[in-house]
Amino acid sequence: MSDRRATPHAADAAPGGGRLAGLSALVTGGGSGLGRAIVDRYLAEGAHVTVLERSADKLQDLTSAHGDRVQMVQGDVTSVRDNETAVATAVSAFGGLDTFVGNAGLWDFGRPLLDMPLAGLEQGFRELFDVNVKGYIVGARVSAEALKDRGGSMIFTLSNAALYPRGGGVLYTASKHAGVGVVSQLAYELAPDVRVNAVAPGGMSTDLRGPDALGLRDRAISEVLPAEAQLRQYSALDLAPVAEDYAAPYVLLASRDESRTVTGIVFDVSAVGTPRRPNAPL
């Protein structure tokens, strides 16, 4: 093991600078929802952040909130060229790349297999898997060398659907199970230079959309989630989480001091796997 990996990066250890002081992070889909919560939390912890995001309006909102503390790249996570631009931007602006957060995704709105028209099934599969799986793999491939130079890490957003049923329909659930395989294989391939982990949050009200082929491009998950009291029934902890509730594990997994021994794990933070106690109060 090299000294570089054995010793925390000097920027991480900057006194009084937060848990991620000086760290350079790239977050895909960082313009809203969980991605935005991760960006805001990383900045609060002293990191420099680059965002790859399709929506110009969301990037403008980030600029208004954070100014030049965040570098913006408008693009598509499934595009090699756009990922290369994002990595190059992070390296140029902040001297390198320490953490790649693959977060952009699509949901299938829990659409059961038999409710999907055959005409839309094939294209819907391609759209969803392109973003949820290909986007992660392309981002990993493009960022890997920069991360190896800094002894960095990759963090992927999965879901309770990667571990349990009822977190989506068959397309979304299959894509998140594929994400578990991506984490496991890349943790093996990129060790000991790059740590590779994932966070599996539960349901939350965000702007997450679905495949255009299934008529879900202009529909947000926030429009279909049950009322707060019903959403709490999915959690043994009696919670209806918001995106900000899930940001802390991304800080833990990005920090060399706090997770230098951790790779190949899916950090289940959903509380979905523990059943509610019978007759537990709502």
**Could you tell me the pLDDT band of residue 109, with boundaries at 50, 70 and 90?**
confident
265 class by beta-carbon count within 10 Å (0-12 exposed, 13-18 middle, 19+ buried): middle
Q: Which of 42, 172, 234, 246 is catalytic?
A: 172
Q: CA 129 to CA 73: how far, in whole Å? A: 22
Residue 232 pLDDT > 80, yes or no? no
**Could you tell me the pLDDT band of residue 205, with boundaries at 50, 70 and 90?**
low
Instruction: Report, in this order, helix, strand and coil percent for the chain, each rounded to 5.
Output: 50, 10, 40
Instruction: Classify residue 281: in a domain, yes or no.
Output: no
DSSP string for 210-269: --GGGT-TT--GGGTSPPHHHHGGG-TT-----GGGGSHHHHHHH-HHHHTT--S-EEE-
State the pLDDT at residue 110: 82
Instruction: Classify residue 28: in a domain, yes or no.
Output: yes
CATH number at residue 209: 3.40.50.720
Domain that holds residue 120: 11-268
Instruction: Classify residue 282: in a domain, yes or no.
Output: no
**Could you tell me the pLDDT band of residue 119, with boundaries at 50, 70 and 90?**
confident
How many domains does the chain contain in total?
1
Instruction: Classify residue 184: in a domain, yes or no.
Output: yes
Closest by Cα among 139, 134, 130 to 26: 139
Instruction: Classify residue 6: in a domain, yes or no.
Output: no
Residue 5 pLDDT > 70, yes or no? no
Q: Is 164 a catalytic residue?
A: no
Question: 3-state DSSP call for residue 178?
Answer: helix
Instruction: Classify residue 33: in a domain, yes or no.
Output: yes
Q: What is the pTM of this model?
A: 0.88
**Could you tell me the pLDDT band of residue 143, with boundaries at 50, 70 and 90?**
very high
* Mean pLDDT, range 206-224, rounded to an integer: 66
Instruction: Classify residue 277: in a domain, yes or no.
Output: no
